[in-house]
Amino acid sequence: MNSRNNNVKALVFFLGPAMLAIFVFFCIPVLSAFVISFTDFDIYSLGNFSNARFIGLRNYTQLFEDPLFWIALRNTFFFVILAGPLSVAVSLFSALLLNAKLVKFKGIFRLTYFMPVVTTLIAVAIVWRFIYHPRFGLLNYLLSFIHINPVDWLGNPFWAMPAIVLMSVWKNFGYNMIIFIAGLNNIPSDLYEAATIEGASWWQQFRSITLPMLAPTTLFISLITMIGYFQLFAEPYIMTQGGPLNKTLSIVQYLYQEGFRWWNMGYSAAIAFVLFFIIFLGSVIQTLVQKKLKHA
């Protein structure tokens, strides 16, 4: 009995602090956000919470009639659909190159490609803002060598989002590359040896050994990349402020503006839950698609 009491005491001592912190500063906020999303919590409720009233689903119905929300939704999907696969492809490609047997100095190359990952997003977004400068920017200078006329990347409604995509791929590909390298190293080398003996080409080996063996890694990478990209915020905040013509306004940026600029917290909480729902749905769909592919 005594030892049982001691066990409970030890459990409370070791698990208690973290669980309490997670409960109070994570679980309660999630539930409160859900409740707030059904109220008209606004700047008047900020001073006195009792000013907020329940309005049922009105925030959600209003959201679906809000043209700016649809623009933010479309922009974010455009970003995820363009940057997600591109990031994964560049990561896989660089991992394959670095894993090639001929390459020496792997460590140096790996470190170089990884550098953008650790650096502060805000700082590099500022750097890229000047790289995209229409007159003095590095990108237009490089493109002048292949006779492409200067483009106002961030000021042009068509190019602003692709410019943010390019910067994001540059910033993130090193991260997934490292996971891919680990995945490639886990593939037993005798598979390749057997295939080589049977005369399979590099492409055949890639399609019938590398890709299927990497499937779990690819699913994991696709998921974390997608979840991260749906939360796009800092890049447009620094580089375009959502412009030009709202072409780079993202969901999180809209949520931030509604919640913390105009203090429409009920409305903002509804946006947060729509975002959560989209991410959840996206994860389920990707996992199902991957399973289907595996059995096909």
Partner 1 sequence: MKKVLLYLFLSLSGILTIAPFVWMISASFMADGHASVYPPRFFPDESTLIQYQILFTRLNALSNFFNSLILSVLVTAVSLLFNSMAGYAFAKFRFSGKDKLFTILLSSMIIPAQVTMLPLFLMLKYMGFINTYMAIVIPGLANIFGIFMIRQYAISIPDSLLESARIDGATDFQIYWKIILPLCKPILVTLALFTFLGTWNDFLWPLIVLTDNSMYTLPVALANLMGEHTKDPELMMAGSVVTIIPVVIVFLSLQKYYLKGIMMGGVKE
Interface of this chain with partner 1, residues 73 to 92, rule: CB under 8 A: none
Stretch that binds partner 1, among 71-79, 80-88, 115-123, 191-199 (CB under 8 A): 115-123
Residue 152, sorted as left (phi over 0), alpha (psi -120 to 50) or beta, turns out to be beta
Binding mask 241-280 toward partner 1 (x if CB under 8 A, else -) reads -----------x--xx--xx----x--xx--xx-xx--xx
- Under rule CB under 8 A, residue 281 binds partner 1: no
- Under rule CB under 8 A, residue 287 binds partner 1: no
Q: Which long-range contacts (CB under 8 A, 24 or more apart) does 224-227 make?
A: 225/84, 225/87, 225/88, 225/172, 225/176, 226/80, 226/84, 226/279, 226/282, 226/283, 226/286, 227/279, 227/282, 227/283
Query: Contacting partner 1 (CB under 8 A), which of 81, 111, 211, 288?
Result: 111
> Minimal distance in Å, beta carbon 113 to partner 1?
6
> Minimal distance in Å, beta carbon 205 to partner 1?
16
CA atoms lying within 13 Å on the CB side of residue 4: 1
Residues 138-197 that bind partner 1 (CB under 8 A): 138, 141, 170, 174-175, 178-179, 181-182
Query: Three-state secondary structure along 226-292?
Result: HHHHHCCCHHHHHHCCCCCCCCCCCHHHHHHHHHHHCCCHHHHHHHHHHHHHHHHHHHHHHHHHHHH
- Under rule CB under 8 A, residue 226 binds partner 1: no
Stretch that binds partner 1, among 55-63, 191-199, 228-236, 242-250 (CB under 8 A): 228-236
